[in-house]
Amino acid sequence: MSEIRLKQSWELPSEPKPIVIIGCGGIVDDAHLPAYELAGFKVAGLFDVNPEKSRRLADKWGVGVFDSLDEAVANRDVVFDLALPPAVHTSVLPALPEGSTVLIQKPMGQDLEQASSIAQICRERKLTAAVNFQLRFAPMMLAVRDALDKDMLGELLDVEVHLNLLTPWHLFPFLIGASRVEISVHSIHYLDLIRSLLGNPSSVQARTMGHPATELAQTRTSANLVYTGDKRATMSINHNHSFGRKFQTAQIRFEGTKGCAVVKLGLLLNYPTGEPDEFWISSGDVDWQQVPLTGSWFPHAFIGTMSNLQRFASGEDQSLETSVEDAWHTMALVEAAFQSAAQPGTPVLDAPPQAQTFASF
C-alpha cells in the first residue's frame, strides 16, 4: 500500500516580524509562546495589566516585558498578538498604532455586537487584523483540506463533530457567571472549521444546556447546520462524561462522495496535556490508512494563524483566512445558534387528534 502524503503545515513568513503579546494568561503559556519558539519567531516582549503574570512568563520563556500598554504599543514594525478576555479587545485595539498588523484571540468579542465593534475599529484604524481561529490550521485539518484539494474525498457532503469527554472548566475561571459559554468559547472552533470547508449555512438548529455537575451556564450542545442540497453538518458535544476514558471521544468525520477522513482531537482528551491527534482516511478503493501527523492542534496550529497573517501583511499570501471580516460570519453563526437554542422546537403531539382514538392507529 503506497504511503499517503498530505500537507500539514502552513508556509512560514520569509521575513518574520517580532511579536508583541498583550495579555499573558494560560493560552499564551500553553500555545502562543511554545508555537513561536518552534517556528523561530522572535517575541519582542509581553504586557499584562497584572505585572506578576507578564514577569512570570517573561522569565520562563526568556523574553522581554513591557511595564505599560503605552510602552508595548510604542514598538514599530512588529505584529501585535492580543490574548485577552473577549470583552477587553474593544478597549485595547484602539490603542494600537494606525495601520498595525494584529492577531486577536478568539472569540471575536463576547457576542455579535462586540464582533461588529471589533470589525469597525479595525476598519477605522486601518488594521490588518485576523482572529486566532487556529483549529483550521491544525496539522490534521490542513491534511483534510489537502485531501479535499487532491480530490481524495470527492465533494464534501457530511461533517459530524462528536465529543463525549470531561473538560477541566476550572482552568477558565472567567467563564463562571457568563451567560454564554459552550458555543461561544468551545464549539465556536467547530463552527468556524465547518464554515471554512462547507461555507456559510443558511440556518442553524441548536440546543445548549448546563449539567448538574457544573455551575457553568452551558456545557452540552447539539446543533444542526442547514445547507442547501446534499450538504449536512452536525455536532453532538458533551463535556460532562465523567465515567472514565473508555468511551470518551473527540472525533470529526469528513465524508465526501469519493472518500472519508476521520480525525481524533487528542488535545481534548486530558486537556491541556492531551493525547496525540490522529488522522485516518479511506479513499476510492483504498482501505482505511492512518497518516502520521507532524504536529498537534496545540501548539502547531498557532504557527499557522501567525504565519498566514504575517505572509498576508507582506504580500506572500493572497488571502487572510481568518480575517476579521471572515471571522464575523463565525460570530453570526454563534449568535444564530444561541437564538435557535432560545426558541421552541416543532411541537410534538402528546395525544391523538380529538376525532381519533389510540385504537384507530
Residues at the site binding ligand NAD, with contacts judged by CB under 6 A: 22-28, 47-50, 53, 83-86, 88, 92, 105-106, 132, 134, 172, 174, 185
Burial classification of residue 160, based on how many CB atoms lie within 10 Å of its CB (0-12 exposed, 13-18 middle, 19 or more buried): middle
How far is 233 from 215, CA to CA, in rounded Å? 29
Q: What are phi and psi of 187, to 5 degrees?
A: -65, -15
Say whether 232 sits in a helix, a strand or coil: strand
Nearest distance from residue 174's CB to ligand NAD, in Å?
5
Nearest distance from residue 172's CB to ligand NAD, in Å?
6
Nearest distance from residue 236's CB to ligand NAD, in Å?
20
Q: Choose between 189 and 220: whose C-beta lies nearer to ligand NAD.
A: 189
Nearest distance from residue 299's CB to ligand NAD, in Å?
10
Q: Choose between 85 and 352: whose C-beta lies nearer to ligand NAD.
A: 85
Nearest distance from residue 72's CB to ligand NAD, in Å?
9
How far is 253 from 255, CA to CA, in rounded Å? 6
Which residue has the closest beta carbon to ligand NAD? 25
**Half-sphere exposure (Cβ direction) of 182: Cα atoms closer than 13 Å:** 27
For the chain, the residue count is 361
C-alpha cell belonging to residue 275: 493525547
How far is 309 from 122, CA to CA, in rounded Å? 14
Q: Give the amino acid at 268.
A: L
Q: Give the amino acid at 26.
A: G
How far is 342 from 6, CA to CA, in rounded Å? 41
Nearest distance from residue 89's CB to ligand NAD, in Å?
8
Q: At what angle do helices 139-149 and 297-314 cross, to 10 degrees?
A: 60
Say whether 94 sits in a helix, a strand or coil: helix
Nearest distance from residue 108's CB to ligand NAD, in Å?
9
